[in-house]
């Protein structure tokens, strides 16, 4: 247990102990009925003493303390809440414990002193590698010469004191150490447990509410420790006398010692009995505050889980306990309040207080996530959450090649029906699929409702609670899961937990001190500098700032050192760009904290950084974090733009030579800026890559607009303005050529002669236009205030269905984020984690395709000059063989690892966790074609691809190619061109594809290829008009008709009204920029017939997808 189990959680240690105990019983090895490490190896006196030295009193922490003190190797404590660190410092305080870090300039000298003089030493180290220089210390490579011990450290030979003790602590939550290090130390998991934190918080609340009770409790613990120490001394004294005396009955001094010891023992025993009785009475009184401690402990673990979402979401236990204490002091208190009401008041006050405090450090997208997590965790405390149902909400159930039959109606998709059938397997939803079929009309009304989350469910399902209703909603209308989650939060915690408090810089400042850094966590388009500068000026403070980067660290250090003394403010911008300087920043912050009395009270250190896993955890935990994002929503964006410099400067706004044109165009420009910002929330439909357009892009465009209108009064130079604004200022950030096409198309709607016409509107609704010029900005603000709070997608150029796409994207983000916070081995499930993993692996392998016979395929389809498709086929088969081998091998290894037959590597562990979450493992994706499908759909899709190529091998080249079945699509398209190039003796680089829509199942063409298997996103195919048409309501994707790809020379292409539609391999659309200048996700442009200008479909975000995500 000491040598191997230290790194594991309390649950796993208990399982290990239970297994070992079972083996002892099986082999008839004498053993106690129940194993307890602190019961066997713990000294009661020491255990009591450790509790008084800041060691949590739960059995897990006591076991850890025993491992620390009894292990032969030096301990390395995984200690994210610094529990172990505080206990060791307290325990070794009398021995003058020293603390070092590897970034201390003199750490080696202090280590040498500690070795020679026997001083305990703590190494605080948050990296996964240890300096090789201290290996002799870790390995205890001392040499004994007579009574002296020496150790060689570097090029020095030092005396080694046997009193020396060495401890290593790390704040990393889940460090991955190499075996070279773990074999030299004893790893100990000191992460706080629920029971341990509950005891601590109970002590805190009782100390504040009933000080005399807690003081009595602490005095009793100390008194018991002293009495047990005294009793141990007595026992030693008696044993000493017995061993010394030859005839104890004739030894008067020995008899007197025994008599005195007996009397003293009786006194101690009597006192202990009284103390135990008193302690029981105190504990009974303390138990009344247990609901506060339990709920608050649950909240703490909910907060620590946020670090899985973003590395900047780090919160220390000290911060949490401080907030807890303040909430108890600040909550409404009345002497006559019954204890039950008082605990309720504290719980309510603290829950909202900590929610408000944490929310200001979260990005907007994660605030609802935090509220939802908080609600779920607190409901779990009351046993109101069924783990199986909650797992279904997150994953949609385990789907592996199961056949559910034909959906009962045309509007029910295969994905929807699959989830409905899997939901019916859960106990509380038994028979749901049958009832759904019988009540199909009522469920159709729910499906068609604009607000299905507010509708009453049909039949007996109306009795479901709000969490269970979310499960049904997930299957039928996943786009409305966000408002359903908000309703769930409002019902359980209150409406105030849905609407996060507004950012208040003054409140943040009041919560800070001179030793707590204030950290702005940045997001695209947000720059807090101007606001902070204005705030500092308002308080009469001097703000000095430095933008970090290469070689700027020394200047920043000097700024901080000067400001500490004179009480000025320092702002260090863009910390994420100076990762190598972050250890120095951490040391500076620790020095400030350690020398708090010498720091000027007015001093403040402000930091800005984008999320980065290199940012020091200790700075994040001890600092005050806040996010200040760019305004969300069209109205807010326009309001902000109207109030930036130079637009808000009357002298600039009202002095242009052509006032009418300037003001018409300037409103068009800020509207364009708002539209391109807001399109980001529609995901790939809006932009392939979500660009970080900033205020500076708008400012420079505004100044150029004024300059060009003044310089060319005869006619507005639209071409120059479009180039500078669309290609340089905003367009300079755009790297994808399809996005560049989009931004220029959007700009054409605002930089146009038509904007001067009073009947010109920005969108079909007619709500949005450039108003008549006014000299007062407030007139423009008043006009903006008339806009709807939630504009329809048409203002951005989208179809109404775009809102569904956006909502489903937000739902998926919420569920994926919640999944990141879940432990794979969380309790309450019908099957264990290992059983589930074995079931998944066995299910996939049961009918998994065999690799292709490459020799047979190459003999049947040899390399042939006239037929490039032979080469395409064999290359594809080879790629699929590599993928099939990777999947089958990893699953077989996983099954062996679960049995303990092979080592569970980090790669296998990641594979296992992905499979449990029904995701495709990364180790498969490295050898796979791009795919965003969940695990079950991915395996089914892979089997369909294998069938397609097996049919090709057996029956010959198909007349219609399923383009969605190829591993490397571009290879197939190149093969099609190459056949034509060799046949016509034309250089292949002079060829391109022309396109023609053909009927389904056409014969093989003489030249070119027929392709099928694609989907249209953002539009539909009008089979009557043979052109692109507007999407039907709620239908996001439709099948694309079969296309004939006709190779032609570039100058021989047919000309007809069309839309150049990009084809992508997945709905993500973005990829890495390849040597062709295109994204790796992009395949090619297809010409699709269109009755409207191509710009219409460009703004719609219309594209062809080779595969969907379902």
- Residue 574's pLDDT is what? 92
Residues whose CB falls within 8 Å of the CB of residue 93, separated by 6 or more in sequence, listed in order: none
Residues of the chain with pLDDT > 70, as a percent, come to 98
Whether the pLDDT of residue 726 is over 60: the answer is yes
* pLDDT interval class at 804 (50, 70, 90): very high
Average pLDDT of the segment spanning 249-278: 76
Average pLDDT of the segment spanning 546-554: 88
Residue 739 — left, alpha, or beta (φ > 0 → left; ψ -120 to 50 → alpha)? alpha
Whether the pLDDT of residue 218 is over 90: the answer is no
Whether the pLDDT of residue 225 is over 90: the answer is no
Whether the pLDDT of residue 255 is over 90: the answer is no
999 contacts 1042 by C-beta, under 8 angstroms:
yes
- Kindly list the strands in the beta sheet with 1009-1012, ordered across the sheet, starting from the edge strand earlier in the chain: 960-962, 1009-1012, 1043-1049, 991-997
- Report CA Rg, the chain: 35
Out of 72-81, 332-341, 691-700, pick the least confident: 332-341
Calpha distance 856→705 (Å, rounded):
68
* More confidently predicted of 336 and 535: 535
For 967-976, the pLDDT digits (tens) are 999 999 999 9
Calpha distance 948→60 (Å, rounded):
56
679 contacts 686 by C-beta, under 8 angstroms:
yes
For 762-774, the pLDDT digits (tens) are 999 999 999 999 9
- Kindly list the strands in the beta sheet with 186-189, ordered across the sheet, starting from the edge strand earlier in the chain: 98-100, 121-124, 166-170, 75-78, 186-189
For 192-202, the pLDDT digits (tens) are 888 888 888 88
Residues whose CB falls within 8 Å of the CB of residue 354, separated by 6 or more in sequence, listed in order: 299, 303, 320, 323, 324, 327
1008 contacts 980 by C-beta, under 8 angstroms:
yes
Residue 1022: enclosing H or E segment and its boundaries? strand 1020-1022
Q: What is the DSSP letter of 466?
A: H
* More confidently predicted of 251 and 505: 505
Mean of per-residue pLDDT scores for the chain: 89
For 411-446, the pLDDT digits (tens) are 998 889 999 999 999 989 999 999 999 999 999 999
* pLDDT interval class at 10 (50, 70, 90): confident
Whether the pLDDT of residue 76 is over 80: the answer is yes
Whether the pLDDT of residue 38 is over 90: the answer is no
Calpha distance 50→46 (Å, rounded):
6
* pLDDT interval class at 827 (50, 70, 90): low
* More confidently predicted of 240 and 842: 842
Whether the pLDDT of residue 248 is over 70: the answer is no
* pLDDT interval class at 1076 (50, 70, 90): low
Out of 621-630, 694-703, 912-921, pick the least confident: 621-630
CA distances from 846 to 838, 850, 946 (A): 12, 11, 16
Structure tokens at 580: 């190598």
* pLDDT interval class at 700 (50, 70, 90): very high
| CB neighbour burial string for 731-746, b if at least 16 within 10 angstroms, e if fewer | beebebebbebbbbbb
1080 contacts 989 by C-beta, under 8 angstroms:
no
Q: What is the largest CA-CA distance in the chain?
A: 128
* pLDDT interval class at 401 (50, 70, 90): low
Structure tokens at 688: 């392939």
- Residue 618's pLDDT is what? 87
- Kindly list the strands in the beta sheet with 1082-1089, ordered across the sheet, starting from the edge strand earlier in the chain: 1037-1039, 1015-1017, 1103-1105, 1058-1064, 1082-1089
Out of 130-134, 376-380, 396-400, 665-669, pick the least confident: 396-400
Whether the pLDDT of residue 503 is over 80: the answer is yes
Average pLDDT of the segment spanning 1081-1104: 95
* pLDDT interval class at 220 (50, 70, 90): confident
Whether the pLDDT of residue 261 is over 80: the answer is no
Whether the pLDDT of residue 1078 is over 70: the answer is no
Among candidate residues 449, 588, 610, 560, the one with its CA nearest the CA of residue 103? 588
Helix 290-304 and helix 339-359, axial crossing angle in degrees, nearest 10? 10
Average pLDDT of the segment spanning 1026-1045: 94
Cα-flanking dihedrals φ and ψ of residue 509, to 5°?
Answer: -60, -40
Whether the pLDDT of residue 1017 is over 90: the answer is yes
What's CA 953's distance to the chain center, in Å? 44
Q: pTM of the predicted model, to two decimals?
A: 0.86
* pLDDT interval class at 875 (50, 70, 90): very high
- Residue 1074's pLDDT is what? 65
Whether the pLDDT of residue 956 is over 80: the answer is yes
């Amino acid at each position: 247990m000491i040598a191997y189990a230290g790194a594991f959680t309390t649950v796993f240690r208990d399982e290990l102990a239970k297994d070992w105990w079972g083996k002892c019983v099986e082999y008839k090895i004498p053993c106690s009925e129940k194993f307890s490490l602190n019961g066997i190896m713990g000294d009661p006196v020491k255990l009591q003493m450790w509790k008084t030295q800041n060691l949590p009193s739960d059995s897990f922490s006591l076991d850890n303390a025993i491992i620390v003190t009894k292990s032969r190797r030096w301990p390395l404590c995984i200690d994210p809440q610094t529990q172990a660190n505080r206990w060791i410092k307290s325990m070794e305080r009398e021995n003058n414990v020293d603390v070092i870090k590897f970034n201390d300039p003199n750490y080696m000298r202090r280590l040498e002193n500690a070795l020679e003089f026997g001083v305990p030493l703590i190494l605080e180290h948050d990296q996964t590698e240890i300096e090789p220089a201290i290996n002799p210390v870790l390995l205890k490579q001392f040499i004994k010469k007579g009574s002296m011990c020496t150790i060689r450290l570097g090029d020095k030979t030092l005396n080694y004191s046997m009193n020396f003790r060495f401890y290593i602590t790390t704040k990393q939550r889940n460090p991955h150490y190499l075996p070279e290090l773990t074999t030299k130390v004893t790893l100990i998991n000191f992460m706080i447990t629920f029971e341990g934190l509950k005891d601590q918080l109970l002590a805190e609340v009782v100390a504040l509410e009933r000080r005399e009770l807690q003081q009595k409790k602490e005095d009793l613990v100390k008194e018991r420790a002293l009495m047990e120490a005294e009793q141990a001394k007595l026992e030693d004294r008696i044993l000493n006398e017995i061993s010394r005396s030859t005839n104890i009955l004739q030894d008067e001094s020995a008899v007197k010692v025994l008599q005195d010891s007996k009397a003293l023992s009786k006194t101690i025993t009597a006192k202990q009995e009284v103390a135990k009785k008193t302690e029981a009475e105190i504990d009974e009184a303390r138990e009344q505050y247990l609901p506060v401690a339990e709920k608050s402990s649950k909240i703490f673990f909910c907060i620590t889980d946020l670090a899985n979402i973003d590395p900047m979401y780090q919160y220390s236990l000290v911060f949490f306990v401080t907030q807890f204490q303040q909430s108890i002091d600040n909550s409404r208190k009345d002497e006559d309040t019954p204890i039950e009401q008082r605990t309720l008041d504290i719980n309510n006050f603290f829950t909202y207080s900590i929610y408000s405090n944490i929310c200001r450090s979260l990005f907007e997208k994660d605030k609802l996530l935090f509220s939802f997590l908080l609600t779920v965790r607190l409901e779990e405390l009351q046993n109101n959450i069924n783990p199986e149902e909650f797992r279904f909400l997150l994953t949609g159930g385990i789907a592996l090649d199961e056949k559910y039959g034909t959906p009962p109606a045309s509007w029910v998709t295969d994905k929807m029906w699959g989830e409905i059938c899997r939901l019916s397997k859960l106990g509380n939803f038994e028979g749901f699929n049958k009832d759904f079929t019988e009540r199909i009309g009522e469920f159709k009304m729910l499906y068609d409702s604009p607000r299905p989350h507010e509708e009453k469910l049909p039949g007996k399902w109306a009795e479901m609670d709000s969490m269970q209703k979310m499960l049904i909603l997930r299957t039928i209308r996943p786009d409305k899961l966000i408002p359903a989650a908000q309703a769930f939060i409002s019902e359980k915690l209150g409406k105030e937990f849905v609407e996060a408090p507004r950012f208040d810089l003054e409140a943040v400042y009041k919560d800070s001190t001179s030793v707590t850094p204030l950290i702005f966590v940045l997001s695209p388009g947000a720059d807090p500098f101007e606001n902070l500068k204005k705030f500092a000026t308002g308080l009469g403070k001097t703000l000095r700032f430095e933008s970090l980067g290469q070689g700027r660290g020394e200047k920043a250090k000097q700024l901080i050192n000067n400001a500490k003394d004179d009480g000025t403010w320092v702002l260090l911008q863009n910390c994420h760009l100076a990762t190598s300087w972050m250890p120095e920043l951490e040391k500076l912050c620790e020095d400030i904290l350690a020398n708090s009395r010498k720091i000027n009270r007015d001093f403040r250190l402000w930091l800005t950084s984008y999320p980065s896993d290199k940012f020091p955890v200790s700075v994040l935990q001890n600092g005050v974090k806040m996010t200040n994002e760019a305004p969300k929503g069209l109205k807010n964006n326009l309001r902000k733009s109207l109030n930036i410099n130079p637009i808000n400067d009357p002298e600039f706004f009202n002095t242009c030579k052509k006032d009418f044109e300037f003001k018409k165009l300037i409103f068009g420009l800020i509207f364009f800026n708002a539209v391109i910002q807001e399109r980001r929330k529609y995901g790939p439909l809006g932009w392939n890559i979500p660009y970080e357009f900033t205020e500076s892009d708008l400012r420079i465009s505004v100044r150029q607009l004024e300059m060009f209108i003044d310089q060319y009064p005869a006619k507005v130079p639209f071409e120059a303005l479009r180039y500078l604004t669309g290609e340089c200022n905003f367009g300079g950030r755009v790297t994808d050529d399809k996005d560049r096409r989009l931004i220029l198309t959007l700009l054409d709607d605002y930089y146009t002669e038509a904007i001067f016409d009073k009947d010109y509107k920005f969108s079909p609704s007619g709500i949005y236009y450039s108003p008549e010029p006014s000299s007062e900005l407030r007139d423009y603000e008043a006009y903006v205030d008339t806009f709807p709070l939630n504009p329809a997608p048409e203002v951005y150029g989208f179809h109404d269905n775009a809102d569904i796409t956006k909502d489903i994207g937000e739902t998926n983000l919420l569920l994926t984020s919640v999944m990141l916070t879940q432990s794979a081995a969380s309790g309450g499930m019908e099957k264990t984690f290992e059983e589930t993993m074995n079931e998944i692996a066995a299910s996939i392998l049961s009918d998994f395709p065999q690799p292709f016979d490459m020799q047979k395929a190459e003999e049947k389809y040899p390399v042939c000059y006239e037929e490039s498709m032979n080469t395409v086929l064999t290359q594809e088969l080879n790629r699929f063989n590599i993928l099939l081998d990777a999947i089958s091998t990893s699953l077989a290894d996983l099954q062996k690892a679960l049995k303990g037959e092979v080592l569970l590597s980090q790669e296998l562990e990641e594979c296992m966790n992905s499979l449990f979450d029904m995701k495709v493992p990364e180790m498969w994706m490295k050898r796979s074609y791009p795919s965003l499908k969940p695990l079950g759909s991915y395996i089914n899709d892979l089997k369909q691809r294998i069938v397609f190529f097996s049919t090709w091998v057996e029956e010959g080249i198909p007349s219609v190619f399923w383009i969605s079945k190829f591993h490397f699509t571009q290879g197939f398209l190149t093969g099609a061109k190459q056949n034509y190039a060799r046949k016509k003796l034309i250089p292949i680089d002079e060829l391109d594809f022309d396109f023609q829509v053909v009927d389904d199942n056409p014969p093989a063409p003489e030249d070119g290829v027929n392709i099928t298997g694609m989907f249209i996103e953002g539009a539909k195919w009008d089979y009557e008009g043979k052109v692109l048409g507007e999407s039907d309501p709620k239908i996001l994707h439709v099948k694309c008709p079969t296309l004939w790809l006709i190779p032609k020379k570039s100058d021989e292409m047919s000309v007809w009204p069309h839309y150049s539609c990009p084809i992508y391999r997945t709905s993500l659309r973005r990829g890495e920029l390849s040597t062709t200048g295109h994204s790796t996700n992009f395949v090619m442009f297809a010409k699709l017939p269109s009755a409207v200008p191509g710009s219409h479909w460009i703004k719609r975000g219309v594209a062809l997808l080779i595969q969907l995500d379902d």
